Amino acid sequence: MNLNGTISGKTRLLGLIGNPVEHTVSPQLHNTLASATNIDVAYVPFHVEKEKLEAAVKGLMAVNVLGFNVTVPYKKDIIKYLDECSKEALLMGSVNTVKNIDGRFYGYNTDAEGFSKSFKHETGTGFKGKQVFIIGAGGAARAISVKIAKEGAGKIYIANRTPSKALEIADMVNENVSSVAEHLDISDARTSKVFSSSGIIINTTTVGMYPNMDVSPIEASFVFSKEQIVYDVIYNPKKTRLLTIAEEKGCTVVNGIGMLFYQGVSAFEIWTGIKLQEPFLSDFYNSFKKVL
Ligand code: ATR
């Protein structure tokens, strides 16, 4: 690695805080974007221990970073150390992007934006009036539920192993965005019928992720139809067991690589104020897919 000639006294720092961060691909994404757009920034990941989170945020402000990403497990905890957050990020209870604006840290959530952009890019369609079935009720499910409710989904079913968590998200969406959400117990007999009648299926759980790749988040008895779009937020492996089964049934399947890519693009746009254009974006996306 040779950084001579790329970093100067004027270079602004971008970072990532999380634990762990050692396998992140975000530096490749952002540093490539920086050189492609000729913007003088450098992106570095920082492994931060839980008890050092506040000190890390203060330190990043002290050295006047341009901004930073936040990853697991701090997307919720970070909120209390920020000066302000977007209304959407507060509803989602999750911040993955922070920008330093005149010495104040502002929090945003670009995960859900990344999900929505990649869904549209890969399928050529959106959520307006659609019946969506979300598997899981963690942070990703919460952010995606808010986003697709805002984008006019007709009905959102949130099915989880722990139904109370799905109920909590459904109530929040119904109260704050629109009355379209309902919770389900993933093991309830009715749930498989709702699954089959939903046009869009989204897995937000980690079930099927490397290294436990032989499992699916739904029962083998669930019936797919070839009209369904099945989106898995997992990108390692590129084809989870869920997507393999869905593809065999003729469904359109999409993995989480696009979500990862577009959340980064949205973060880069927030930090730099530029809007990345086509065909650059699609070309860059295609080369990013090959790197993963
Ligand atoms: P994230 O914030 O990335 O969405 P999370 O908060 O850990 O991750 O949420 C993971 C979701 O996957 C949860 O809804 C979890 O179910 P519970 O609410 O019942 O814990 C779900 N999940 C994780 N492992 C699971 C498994 N083996 N079977 C079914 N659901 C699982």
pLDDT digits (tens, 9 = 90+) for 71-113: 999 999 999 999 999 999 999 999 999 999 999 999 999 999 9
Question: Would you say the CB of residue 96 lies under 6 angstroms from ligand 1?
Answer: no
Rounded to the nearest whole angstrom, what is the distance from the C-alpha of residue 140 to the centroid of ligand 1?
Answer: 9
Report the interhelical angle of 26-37 vs 257-272 (nearest 10°). 50
Please say whether the beta carbons of 183 and 160 come within 8 A: yes
Please say whether the beta carbons of 258 and 285 come within 8 A: yes
CA atoms within 13 A on the CB side of 191: 25
pLDDT at 292: 79
Residue with CA at minimum distance from ligand 1 atom 31: 205
Q: Which of these is catalytic: 52, 58, 75, 150?
A: 75
User: Catalytic: 239?
Assistant: no
pLDDT digits (tens, 9 = 90+) for 155-170: 999 999 999 999 999 9
Question: Would you say the CB of residue 163 lies under 6 angstroms from ligand 1?
Answer: no
Cβ-based neighbours of 183, under 8 Å, separated by 6 or more? 137, 157, 158, 159, 160, 163, 166, 167, 169, 170
pLDDT at 127: 98
pLDDT band at 1 (very low <50, low <70, confident <90, very high): low
- Phi-psi domain of 218 (left: phi exceeds 0; alpha: psi -120 through 50; beta: other): beta
Please say whether the beta carbons of 246 and 228 come within 8 A: yes
Q: Across the beta sheet with 84-85, what order do the strands follow?
A: 41-47, 12-18, 67-70, 97-101, 104-108, 84-85
Phi then psi for residue 151, to 5 deg, are -90, 10
pTM, rounded to two decimals = 0.95
Residue with CA at minimum distance from ligand 1 atom 7: 138
Rounded to the nearest whole angstrom, what is the distance from the C-alpha of residue 288 to the centroid of ligand 1?
Answer: 28
| pLDDT surpasses 90 at 5 | no
pLDDT digits (tens, 9 = 90+) for 14-41: 999 999 999 999 999 999 999 999 999 9
pLDDT at 123: 98
pLDDT at 7: 93
